[in-house]
């Protein structure tokens, strides 16, 4: 796996330097962008591991996009 997602503090810097409009932050506490999660999912698929995610709907009347939260990663 690419070190940019495992080196402490490097993920936020990498995301800020290479931000794309479709690469949203999925974990605000660690600033994990969509591309990092996609890399993990792609690598897991190659290794035949199961990765589960949930998408929660925004609150009624909210204009915010749905929050995306990983719920489990199973080997």
* Mean pLDDT over the full length of the chain: 65
Ranges of the chain whose pLDDT falls below 50: 54-55, 57, 66, 69, 71-75
**pLDDT tens for each residue of 20-33:** 888 877 766 666 77
When divided into structural domains, the chain yields a total of 1
Domain that holds residue 31: 3-74
**33: exposed, middle or buried (C-beta count within 10 Å: 0-12, 13-18, 19+)?**
buried
How far is 37 from 25, CA to CA, in rounded Å? 10
């Amino acid at each position: 796996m690419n070190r940019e997602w495992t080196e402490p503090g490097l993920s936020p810097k990498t995301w800020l330097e290479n931000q794309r409009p479709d690469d949203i932050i999925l974990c605000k506490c660690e600033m994990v962008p969509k591309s990092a999660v996609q890399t993990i999912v792609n690598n897991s698929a190659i290794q035949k591991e199961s990765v589960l995610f949930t998408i929660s709907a925004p609150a009624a009347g909210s204009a915010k996009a749905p929050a995306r939260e990983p719920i489990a990663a199973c080997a």
